Amino acid sequence: MRKYFWKIALLAATSGCTSYQFEQNISDINTNTDVVFSGQITVIKHTDQQNALDAKATSILENVVGEAEAVQLMLAKSPAFQKLLFTNLKEGSLAAQTGRIPNPTFAFERMVKGSETEYGRFLTFGLLDLLSLPSKQTTSKIAVEIANVNLATEILGSIMDVRLAWLNSVAAEEKFAIAEKTFVALSGSAELAKRMKQTGNMTTTDRIKEQLVYSESVISLAEAEQLRVSTRERLISLIGLNSSEAAMLSLPGSLPPLAEKPIEMSELVQVFEDRFDVKLARLDYELALAAMGIENVSTYTDLEIGIRNDRINDGGSISNKRGYELEVAIPVFDWGGAQRNALQAEVLVKQQNFKQVTLAAASGLRDAYNSYRTSFDIAQHYQEQIIPMHEVLLDEANYNYNGMIIGVFELLEAGREKSLADKKSIDANHNLLKAELNLRSSALGRSVGAETGAIATNAVKKPKGH
């Protein structure tokens, strides 16, 4: 009977163990284009792999780096991204380990008494661990699934961070170009005003006004340069470029154009339970529920069984002793009531958290979509209404200047107003693209946290009376 018991115990302990299929998980995520926007995830374990990816990165950097190329560079170069992958491998492996029982303990002893020598062999293992193995394997599988979802979530977050950094950097480049152009125009205006004042053709008040406008352009250029540098360095850091590679980085001069029509909510509808945040909350609840059965028993008692086999040599006479012992923790001082209350409360916490995450996910998606549509309407209004009207005003100013109806300063003012409108149009398009990123990531259950900036409005100038 005991022989069969050991065979059954050994079979139960060695079969059905959970493992973490890390490489398969990476392969599955690579096929999900909603997560992997561009390129392929590679787990870099060897120098040859890194050398091949470095060569690929160099090839990409030889051309203008678009949004897709920035993601490819991050997947190939970023040590932080590789750290994320290996951290998940560790967490997933530890989750799989929870589905296995502790190894048995073997003890050997040799006792001598006169002519008698006794050799003792003692094998001990946790009986409760063995009996609860099926439940442990169930909780381990849930924990491994949580690790799988966490990996996809973190990968999505890393890719979205790079896409957002690329948008911010390109927008900063575009606004810097406008600030630089405005600075050049206004520096000429300030110099002309200075000379006209010296010849007595301009009042001191008008001269100072022109100088103040020029001074504002100096500050704006400095701020635009600082924003350009900081956003570029943020992108370089996320991608993982070294100094020589960073010097090669060339970005587009403008953001992607406005789409012809907005994204419809129906395009984002998917199985709601497949969202990362909802899935994690559900698995967390299921894990607490499954673990409660195991931990509930352990609050009452603990069981250990030991098998003993002794060999006795008494002056050449050999004899054997065999037997077993059972160790039981007796609940005398602590019946585990407080622990069981805590376990039940933990399950209820996870249950309510699952409900709350589900509600918040639906609300968050509606909010993200409303923000996107508002940003789309504003960007479209700038492109179709405000910018064309400023172009007409600038054309009229050129026409009036050539007809000597207005002076050079009025022409420069019209150009300045057009530049300000262009800058606000860039802000509007930038806000739209950030809102779209936030919407798409929110639909998957991992908000990128891209906040849309306010677009300042100018007071409408009334025409001067005559």
Buried b (16+ CB within 10 A) or exposed e, 346-366: ebeebeebbeebbeebeebbe
Q: What is the mean pLDDT of residues 246-252?
A: 94
Domain ranges of the chain: 1-255+302-334, 257-300+336-456
- Return the biggest CA–CA distance within the chain: 133
CA 84 to chain centre: 10
Neighbouring C-beta atoms of residue 68, cutoff 10 Å: 14
pLDDT digits (tens, 9 = 90+) for 44-59: 988 888 899 999 999 9
Q: Give residue-wise pLDDT tens across range 170-203.
A: 999 999 999 988 888 877 777 777 777 777 777 7
Token digits of residue 237: 């850091």
Average pLDDT over residues 449-454: 68
The number of helices, as runs of H, and strands, as runs of E, in the chain is: 13, 4
DSSP H/E element including 310: strand 303-314
Q: What percent of the chain has pLDDT over 90?
A: 31
Do the beta carbons of residue 251 and residue 169 sit within 8 Å? yes
* CA–CA gap between residue 202 and residue 155 (Å, rounded): 62
Predicted pLDDT of residue 435: 93
Res 297: pLDDT: 58
Question: Whose CA is closest to 42, among 82, 71, 73?
Answer: 82
What type of residue sits at position 406? I
Domain 1-255+302-334: top CATH class: mainly alpha
CA distance 175 to 254: 9
Give the residue-averaged pLDDT of 117-138: 73
Give the residue from 246, 242, 250, 231 showing the smallest Cα distance to 167. 231
Quote the tokens at residue 258: 């406005």
Tokens of 165: 């950094």
Q: What is the DSSP letter of 132?
A: T
The pLDDT-based confidence of 296 (bands split at 50, 70, 90) is low
Helix residue spans in 382-407 (DSSP H): 387-402
3-class secondary-structure state, position 304: strand
How many residues are there in the chain?
466
Q: Which two tokens stand for residue 113?
A: 């008494």
Q: Residue 18 and residue 148: Cα distance in Å, rounded?
A: 13
Kindly list the distances between the CA atom of residue 357 and the CA atoms of 148, 363, 366, in Å, as whole numbers in the listed order: 19, 10, 14
300-95-11 Cα angle (round to 5): 70
Strand order in the sheet with 116-126: 105-113, 116-126, 303-314, 317-328
Q: In which element (H, E) is residue 415 found?
A: helix 408-444
pTM (two decimals): 0.83
- Quote the crossing angle between the two packed helices 133-198 and 22-30, to the nearest 10°: 50
Predicted local confidence at residue 459, as pLDDT: 43
pLDDT over 80 at 326, yes or no: no
Average pLDDT of the chain, as a whole number: 82
| E strand spans, 31-163 | 105-113, 116-126
Q: What mean pLDDT is predicted for residues 254-272?
A: 83
Helix (H, G, I), strand (E, B) or coil at 272: helix
Q: Identify the residue with better confidence: 2 or 255.
A: 255
CA angle 53, 67, 443 (to 5 degrees): 110
Is 315 or 383 the better-scoring residue by pLDDT? 383
Cα–Cα distance between 77 and 357 in angstroms, integer?
A: 34
Distance (Å, rounded) from C-alpha 203 to C-alpha 223? 31
Q: From CA 228, how far away is CA 239, in angstroms rounded?
A: 17
